[in-house]
């Protein structure tokens, strides 16, 4: 059995046409206000945390000074509750004058000066989800132009207070209107989330042609249950969702909540690992001013990020679901490399899971393996049984190089950081040292 890497890649190339704005050839990364800061508009009593220009300037400072930007986290994204309740005298949206005294254009300049990009939020209905002015059909052109005039780089277009007929017209129309401004503005569509996320209601071919990314399931909340429900939905529907993703067009399972209050460190690694497997946008929603170093290390893990950002842009799949509640996930990567995640849904104790790359249908050969969260490396033959110890609600994540031919010199290689793999090991399961 062989990894179907090349087959999948050529199928994608033949069938998908992405929105032609040149943006998001790899999944976007950045910070998004919603999950952590919601619609806190009480700047009198909670000035540090309310939705105001100060919050976004603080986050831009953190992204640019704490090592995030260099890793690709460049979007600073506003969500709902930024707008004034009324349009200006020319019918344009305007920011709340008290909370955004400098206006959005000035905030965009602040963000751009730090090598970052600014995202804004709108809604296809008469109102946004929190009751601010929406952008219904007759306001699409003027609002797209306003966002462009403000030098905004991305739009999240929500769907509250709109019906199906309006959405069918509005989402493509906004895509055209953004294009017509001449400014490349990445486009996030909440449309499929309002249609149940699945065909026949949702047409993923069309979405890929008009949006750079799309939310197809409910909002994430700050809990492990919420993370698990998203993982369940995405991988239960992987046959529909995997082919929909490609460079410039991504399924968006919603924000990373690593660094908030709901996840343990193991669960945080699990979210990061599975979001990388899903080729998901990596928008963190947390307080970058107070994040723990543990959470920061997980979000700044270079190998997990490089897996997420793989240029082939093939979304990964769940390939094993054991009765023991261990699951295995695989994402094919460029250069014939791949990523594997061993995920435990158990809640009792670390589980020792035994398998081999051969059983997971990897091509015959030997593989160099790097553990994503410990950076320990091993060399492993496809036929050799191994054991990974997976913490409850946690993961073990591997990056696997392309298979090399079975070559005795590689099996007994001289790199002293790698333990030689002996052919006798074929007979016995070897516990890997990164347990
Ligand atoms: C608008 O669409 C055309 C054709 O698809 C494309 O060539 C162009 O780059 C797009 N412009 C912007 C600003 O997105
Ligand atoms: C959707 O809303 C429009 C008004 O914008 C209305 O004319 C139409 O009947 C509604 N359609 C449905 C299916 O509710
Ligand atoms: C989906 O959208 C594409 C592009 O607009 C179109 O060609 C195709 O016929 C649609 N498929 C269905 C089932 O409606
Ligand atoms: C990937 O593997 C295939 C054979 O399975 C080989 O033809 C191809 O050259 C390899 N590509 C790279 C980049 O190693
Ligand atoms: C490996 O391939 C066999 C035969 O096609 C298939 O039945 C099995 O489910 C595959 N296993 C994995 C882990 O992909």
Q: Please, are residues 119 and 153 in contact by the beta-carbon 8 Å criterion? A: yes
Ligand nearest to the Cα of 330, by number: 5
pLDDT at 333 over 50: yes
The reply to whether omega before 200 is within 30° of 0 (cis) is yes
**Can you give the pTM of this predicted structure?**
0.92
166 CA distance to ligand 2 middle (Å): 7
pLDDT of residue 2: 44
- For the chain, what is the mean pLDDT? 92
Task: Assign 129 a pLDDT band (cuts: 50, 70, 90).
Answer: very high
**271 exposure class (CB count in 10 Å sphere: 0-12, 13-18, 19+):** buried
Q: What is the arithmetic mean of pLDDT over 284-293?
A: 98
Task: Assign 405 a pLDDT band (cuts: 50, 70, 90).
Answer: confident
Residue whose CA lies nearest to ligand 4 atom number 13: 335
End-to-end CA distance of the chain: 28
405 CA distance to ligand 4 middle (Å): 12
pLDDT of residue 406: 66
pLDDT of residue 407: 56
pLDDT at 291 over 80: yes
For ligand 5, say whether the CB of 320 is within 6 Å of any of its atoms.
yes
Question: What are the structural domains, with CATH classification, of the chain?
Answer: 16-308 (3.20.20.70), 317-434 (2.60.40.1180)
Tens of pLDDT, residues 178-205: 999 999 999 999 999 999 999 999 999 9
pLDDT at 3 over 50: no
pLDDT at 306 over 90: yes
Q: What is the arithmetic mean of pLDDT over 68-73?
A: 98
320 CA distance to ligand 5 middle (Å): 9
pLDDT at 326 over 80: yes
Ligand nearest to the Cα of 176, by number: 1
Annotated catalytic residue 222 = no
pLDDT of residue 4: 40
Q: Please, are residues 339 and 270 in contact by the beta-carbon 8 Å criterion? A: no
Task: Work out which ligand 1 atom sits closest to the CA atom of 181.
Answer: 13
- Dist. CA 125–CA 167, nearest whole Å: 8
DSSP 140-195: HHHHHHHHHHTT--EEEEE-TT--HHHHHHHHHHHHHHHHHTSS--EEEE-GGGGG
Annotated catalytic residue 219 = yes
312 CA distance to ligand 4 middle (Å): 14
pLDDT of residue 408: 52
pLDDT of residue 283: 99
Catalytic residue among 123, 143, 151, 158: 158
pLDDT of residue 409: 52
Residue among 3, 402, 404 whose CB has most ligand 4 atoms within 8 A, to mutate = 402
pLDDT at 428 over 60: no
pLDDT of residue 16: 58
Task: Work out which ligand 4 atom sits closest to the CA atom of 2.
Answer: 5
């Amino acid at each position: 059995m062989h990894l179907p890497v090349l087959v999948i890649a050529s199928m994608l190339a033949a069938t998908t046409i992405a929105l032609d704005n040149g943006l998001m050839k790899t999944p976007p990364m950045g910070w998004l206000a919603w999950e952590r800061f919601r619609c806190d508009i009480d700047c009198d009593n909670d000035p540090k945390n309310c939705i105001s220009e100060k919050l976004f300037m603080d986050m831009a400072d953190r992204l640019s000074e704490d090592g995030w930007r260099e890793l690709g986290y460049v979007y600073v994204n506003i969500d709902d509750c930024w707008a004034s309740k009324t349009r200006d005298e020319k019918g344009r949206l305007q920011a709340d004058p008290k909370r955004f005294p400098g206006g959005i254009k000035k905030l965009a300049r602040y963000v751009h000066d730090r090598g970052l990009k600014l995202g804004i939020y709108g809604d296809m209905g008469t109102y946004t989800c929190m009751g601010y002015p929406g952008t219904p059909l007759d306001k699409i052109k003027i609002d797209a132009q306003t966002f462009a005039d403000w030098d905004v780089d991305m739009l999240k277009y929500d769907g509250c207070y709109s019906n199906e007929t309006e959405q069918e017209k509005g989402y493509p129309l906004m895509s055209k209107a953004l294009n017509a401004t001449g400014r490349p503005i990445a486009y996030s569509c909440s449309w499929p989330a309002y249609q149940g996320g699945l065909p026949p209601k949702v047409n993923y071919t069309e979405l890929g042609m008009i949006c750079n990314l799309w939310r197809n399931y409910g909002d994430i909340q700050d809990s492990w249950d919420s993370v698990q429900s998203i993982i369940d939905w995405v991988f239960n529907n992987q046959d529909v969702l995997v082919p929909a993703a490609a460079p410039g067009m991504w399924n968006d399972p919603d924000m990373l909540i690593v660094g908030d209050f709901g996840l343990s460190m193991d669960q945080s690694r699990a979210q990061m690992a599975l979001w990388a497997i899903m080729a998901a946008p990596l928008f963190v929603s947390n307080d970058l001013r107070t994040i723990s170093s543990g959470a920061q290390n997980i979000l700044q893990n270079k190998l997990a990020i490089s897996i997420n950002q793989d240029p082939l842009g093939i979304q990964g799949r769940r390939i094993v679901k054991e009765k023991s509640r261990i699951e295995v996930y695989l994402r094919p990567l460029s250069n014939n490399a791949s990523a594997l995640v061993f995920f435990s849904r158990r809640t009792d104790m670390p589980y020792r899971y035994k398998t081999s790359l051969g059983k997971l249908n990897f091509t015959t050969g030997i593989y160099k393996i790097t553990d994503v969260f410990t950076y320990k490396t091993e060399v492993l033959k496809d036929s050799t049984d191994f054991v990974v110890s997976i913490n409850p609600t946690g993961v073990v994540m591997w990056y696997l190089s392309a298979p090399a031919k079975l070559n005795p010199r590689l099996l007994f290689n001289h790199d002293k950081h790698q333990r030689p793999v002996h052919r006798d090991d074929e007979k016995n399961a070897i516990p890997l040292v990164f347990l």
